[in-house]
Structures are given as C-alpha cells and as structure tokens.
Chain A
Amino acid sequence: MRKAWLKWTMLGAPALIAAGCATAPDPATTRQIAEKMVSEDFTAPTPALLKRLEQDRSQRICSKIGDAKLTQEEAAEVVKLARASIQYPASGKLVGDWKVGNTLAHDGAGDRIQFGRLEKRKENGGLCQNCHALAPGEINVGNVGPSLTGYGAQRGNSEAIAKLTYERIYNAWAYSPCSNMPRLGATRHLTPEQIAHLVAFLIDPASPVNGKR
C-alpha cells in the first residue's frame, strides 16, 4: 500500500510540475504576502489611522483560519489580556443613565473613514442595534449576537450583575475569548462613561429593554 502511494507520488509530482500546477504556499509565506498587502493597499487621512490595521496580540490569536481551533493556552492568554485591559469610569459608577444608553445603543455611526476623511463625531455610537435584539417588539435589529430583550428582567440589577455587564461590554473576550463581540472599551471605540450608560440601558427596570411585550 505504502509503496503504491510512493510510486504514484513520484510519477505524479513531476507530471504536475510539468503541467504548471501550483502548490499551496506554506502559512508563513501566505502571512508574509498578505501582511504586505495590508501594509500597502489601504489609505487613511493620517498615519495614525493607518495603524488601525495593525493587530494586537489577541487579534492575532483570534484570527484562526478555517476550522482551526483555539488552543486552551491561547484562550487563557486572551482572557488574561482582556482582564488586564478593563478600566472603570473615574467616578466609579458602573451604572449610568439608561436614556443616554438607549440612544447610544441605537447609534451605529462614528469613526468611519471615507473619501480621505474621518467621520467626525463627538463620540461613537454603541452599535448594539446592529447585532442584538433590544426592546420587545423592536423590528429593526440584527441577530449576529444574542437577544438582549429582557436582559435585566432576567438577571436583576445587582452590583454583581452591573459589574459583569460592564466588563462584558468593555471587553467581551474576558468571558468569551475570541467571540464575535467587539472589545468596545478595550479598543477605545467607547468610553467607560458610555459603557456605564449601556449597562443602565440593559439592567434598569425602567429601560425599554426590560419592558413588557
């Protein structure tokens, strides 16, 4: 069996080369070719904005190709880095104003780059509506992430829940390494104060998220 395999390989390989068949480049070569593209094929109004394409350690770990799985060590490292990244509002208040949070959750704008210009905003939108169901009966919501309808009604609004919710928004990878959820606080897309408003939006009993259907 083994000999037959060897024989076919020896006969086949030169034939393939003669036919001009290309071979799969090894991962290091692919990485080199692709990273060269990343560094040459994008433009931004300032060099600092071009740096957005650079990956941090966690992003590199979380970019598994195809069915490649995260190892336990890698997952542990991502969690560790995520835990270390979390910062809290200067005021120490993790629960802000749900009304501000409601507006933020439905704001998908901010910080995009087009026609050589950066989208100027005082602060970025929270992007929540893009991926999560929010208030009961709200139709224009995405489903990439889990539904948040009744989030606080199901979990309560204890200090522990507030802290967990804050941390999951600030850096979701502290709990679910490499999940699709952006690390909204750690990447500086949102400020700690904005995240506190989103926490209120999710856990305050008066928030529409926890309203009746």
Chain B
Amino acid sequence: MPTTRGGFAAILLACLAAWGAALAQSDDPLAVGRKMLAEDNPGELWIERGKALFHQKRGPRNASLEQCDFGLGPGKLDGATAQLPRYFPDTDRVQDLESRLLTCMVQLQGFNRDDIVKRAISPAGSNGSDVEALALYITSRSNGMKINISLSHQKEYDAYKAGEYLFYRRSGQTDFACLQCHGEANKRIRLQDLIHMTDKKGVQEVVSTWPAYRGAHFVVRTMQWRLYDCFWQMRLPELKYASDASIALTTYLHYQGNGAVIKVPGFKR
C-alpha cells in the first residue's frame, strides 16, 4: 500500500511537473487546450469500427479485406502504411493508402468504385464513411513505426517530383500554391496554425498524424480530405479522390517526412 501510494504521488508529481513545463514552454494559450483535447481523442472510436469493417464479409462478392495487399503481402497490415505511397505492380500505379483501399474494395469485394468515392469523404457531423474508418484502422496498425518511403521504382520517383512541382505551383485567383501558406514557421490563417511543411519537423507532424479526428467536423478525416479541402480554400477546382495528383502530393510530403513516428488518430481543431 505505501509503495502504491508513493508511486501514485510520484506519478502525480511527474504529471504536474510535465504540465507546468508544458505551460511554461508554450507562449500560445491555445496549445494547452489542444493538448487536453488530443489526450482524449474521440477518433479512437473509429479504429474498432474500421477493424470490424476490415474483417467483415461485405460487398457483391461477400468478401472481407483480409486478402488485400497494402504492399507487404495479402493481409499484412503491421507497418504497411509506413511505406505508403508505393508502386504496385498489379495496378502499375503508385498508390496511397486510400487509393489502394479502393482497389481492394472494387477487386475483392466487388463494390462500385464511383459509389465508394462519392461517399469516401463524409458530411460533417455524420457517422463517417467506411473508407475513413478503414483508413484509420489500417494506419493505426503502423502506430509507433517510422515512415519509410523509398523512391526505388521510377514511377515512385516521378510521383515524388511531380508532387514537389505541384506543391510550388501557383494558380487561380488567389495565386496560391501550397507554399504560400506552408512555407514559413509560426504562421496562422486567422487563429489556425499553419504547419511549416518545407521544414523536416513540420512535414513529419503532417505525415504521422492522418487520419485524424477533426473537432470542428465531429468525424475522422483522411489525408485525401486534407488535400481536397486545401484546394477548395484556394478557390481551385475539386481535387479528384485518390487521383494521381493527390497521390503525388502525398508521396512528396511522406518522403520529406521519412523517419516520423506514426501516431494516429491525430487530433485537429
């Protein structure tokens, strides 16, 4: 008993010290609130749902996703997301997690691609889409592992360079590329922090925290959504779900973020 109590007191002290240090370190009062929210992430609920969906026999072919190959072999999920996007010989394409998921839902389960794409990004405040839950579950199986993108296939290298090109490509009535908002440290759009993505640490934060629970939408969002929504704000046309452009940008960012430790679900405002 005394040991337990002593242990408890030690933990409490350590927590208080850590909390004090966090407060002292942060000039930003919003950071404290964000940290509190992140510690109790509602996105966790989507993981179990994604797991159930993964194993359940579904679709016109009444099949599970257990035979889906995310790059490490059929059904091998541990660490798979850490190496995505990558080149897949069967589709002869570089694919990110979500486009690979689509491939499997179509080929193994017999779903109609357009139907899945139409529902992939769920309305705010809804129960979320199957793809969102599945993407989170599959990524969570790489939690604690390091992002490790190789550019060993020529198409991977091409996608990486195309993604870089797109990151810097200005267009539209706002003259924006990704760089205009994400090229400097400590910037905000109104009160929203903008991640500094031409910085190793910044880009690592991005690639290791999606899918994430988006507080303002009450649902889990994926990297595909994040990119889509940026183009929307830039007043540009709508980025097609799981398109090569989206995968190229993801390839660029993930390769830049190599070494980041995956920790999902992330928590975003």
Interface residue from B190, B240, B244 paired with A130 (Cβ < 8 Å): B190
Shortest Cβ gap from A128 to chain B (Å): 11
User: In the assembly, what is the distance between CA of A189 and CA of B157, in Å?
Assistant: 36
Q: Are A37 and B171 in contact (CB under 8 A)?
A: no
Chain A, Cβ-Cβ closest to B198: A66
User: In the assembly, what is the distance between CA of A127 and CA of B175, in Å?
Assistant: 13
User: In the assembly, what is the distance between CA of A187 and CA of B172, in Å?
Assistant: 8
User: By the criterion of a CB under 8 Å from any partner CB, how many residues of chain A are at the interface?
Assistant: 54
Q: Are A42 and B238 in contact (CB under 8 A)?
A: yes
Chain A, Cβ-Cβ closest to B181: A144
Q: Are B166 and A111 in contact (CB under 8 A)?
A: no
Decide if A84 is an interface residue (CB 8 Å cutoff).
no
Q: Are A114 and B171 in contact (CB under 8 A)?
A: no
Q: Are A44 and B237 in contact (CB under 8 A)?
A: yes
User: Which stretch in A28-36, A91-99, A153-161 binds the other chain?
Assistant: A28-36
Decide if A63 is an interface residue (CB 8 Å cutoff).
yes
Q: Are A112 and B164 in contact (CB under 8 A)?
A: no
Q: A43-B240, A52-B173 are in contact. Are A37 and B235 (CB under 8 A)?
A: no
User: In the assembly, what is the distance between CA of A141 and CA of B151, in Å?
Assistant: 40
User: Which stretch in A6-14, A17-25, A201-209 binds the other chain?
Assistant: A17-25
| A-chain residues with CB within 8 Å of residue B171 when the two chains form the complex | 52-55, 59
Decide if A76 is an interface residue (CB 8 Å cutoff).
no
Q: Are B177 and A44 in contact (CB under 8 A)?
A: no
Interface residue from B161, B190, B235 paired with A25 (Cβ < 8 Å): B161
Interface residue from A25, A63, A187 paired with B173 (Cβ < 8 Å): A187
User: In the assembly, what is the distance between CA of A181 and CA of B165, in Å?
Assistant: 20
| A-chain residues with CB within 8 Å of residue B243 when the two chains form the complex | 37, 40-42
Q: Are A43 and B238 in contact (CB under 8 A)?
A: yes
Q: Are B239 and A41 in contact (CB under 8 A)?
A: yes
Q: Mark B185-226, 1 if CB is under 8 A from A, else 0.
A: 011111100100000000000000000000000000000000
Decide if A210 is an interface residue (CB 8 Å cutoff).
no
Q: Are A43 and B233 in contact (CB under 8 A)?
A: no
Q: Using a CB–CB distance below 8 Å, which chain A residues touch chain B?
A: 19-25, 29-31, 33-34, 37-38, 40-44, 49-50, 52-55, 59, 62-66, 108, 111-114, 116, 127, 129-131, 139-144, 180-183, 187-189
22 contacts between A and B (CB under 8 A): A21-B152, A22-B156, A24-B157, A33-B158, A34-B245, A37-B166, A37-B248, A38-B169, A42-B236, A42-B243, A43-B238, A50-B237, A52-B173, A52-B236, A54-B171, A112-B232, A139-B191, A142-B188, A142-B190, A144-B188, A187-B172, A187-B174
